[in-house]
Amino acid sequence: MSLTKTKTLIALSSLFVAPFAAFPAQSQTIFWTDTDASQQAIYSADIDGSNPTKLVDIPAVFGPSPRGRYLPGEITNNGNFIFWEDTNIINDDKIYRAGIDGSNPIVLLDLQSELGLSDYQTFGMAAFGESIFWTDFRQDAIYTAGIDGSNPSVLIDLDAVLGVGDYSPQGIATDGVSLFWVDLSGQNRIYKADIDGSNTTELFNVSSEFGTGSYNNLTISGNFLYGTSGTNDLIYRVGTDGSDPVVLIDLQSDIGPGTYNPSDIAADGNFLFWPSFNAQRNINRANIDGSEPGSLIDPVTDIGPGTYNPRSITVLQNQQTQSVPEPTSIMGILVLGTLGLLGKKR
């Protein structure tokens, strides 16, 4: 190949290969709810704890609660929207939605209006693609709806499927194929079902493995479920097939004596995140294997003076951080290939 063609090839390579590399992805973000009476808000921060920001001031957006205060509880996201519910049992049983930047917050579902009855208590939420899922321990059921609030319905009636019993479904997680949830009252078991609600089965007995206590929430990353025990101050892991259970973090042993009450958990493949509800009142992080646990965000120090009480946490789903080549990248490959062929001609 001539020197001129070589220089041309290098120049075009710099022009077209760069776009083929991963585009700048949105920085990974964590979101959490804060139930303190002075907050009643949704917060976000980068996964290194930087840039903590109040995304949604709920009373400012929706007006004062007709029942005295909001208690934003469980929160989840599908990569495009965040969803949260209100755990105040005297509130109006609503599920909310906003953009991942906090924009356009709306009441997505008024459960009493859409489903009837008047006694709901949502204590777990998950989202995937175009669907959201939530647990209700007063109705002993798993519910689902579209991310636009359409078609809310009972997905799994636990009494009908598992037999009449004392159920309290709490945290729920999904990988897009299966649903997993932990049941608190008298069960302390993890259950699994297909994402359409079929084939419900007991997966794992948490109390038998980790001791009697309250087991609150679940998240999923890879082939593992990660969960918390508020009463035992534990972070644990178990395979999505129920195998290889292990305590990853004993907070009192690994951080120091105290009360931690990890009320929820999120994972992004590299890190675990959890809030310390009604205890340390901060956001914590550890490596995905449980190593190096510690405080990530102290709201008083990192956000400003005040009273805080983070309750639930979620990490931005991967589809928001994936990158795809632009059309120019494909053109670049074609040009480089053509030049390569030209270079072979004599």
Phi, psi of 78 (to 5 degrees): -115, 15
Q: What average pLDDT does this structure show over 234-238?
A: 97
Residue 63 has pLDDT above 70, yes or no: yes
- Side-chain-facing half-sphere of 294: CA atoms under 13 Å: 4
Phi, psi of 260 (to 5 degrees): -120, -40
The structure tokens listed for 259 are 């009360």
- Domain over 27-318 is classified CATH 3.10.20.600: no
- Return the bridge partners of 202, or none: 191
User: In this structure, how many other beta carbons lie within 10 angstroms of the beta carbon of residue 201?
Assistant: 11
Q: What average pLDDT does this structure show over 160-178?
A: 93
Mean pLDDT of the chain: 84
Q: How confident is the model at residue 228 (pLDDT cuts 50, 70, 90)?
A: very high
Residue 115 has pLDDT above 70, yes or no: yes
Residue 336 has pLDDT above 80, yes or no: no
Q: What average pLDDT does this structure show over 179-204?
A: 92
Phi, psi of 213 (to 5 degrees): 165, -175
User: Domain limits of the chain?
Assistant: 1-24+323-346, 27-318
Residue 330 has pLDDT above 60, yes or no: no
Residue 26 has pLDDT above 90, yes or no: no
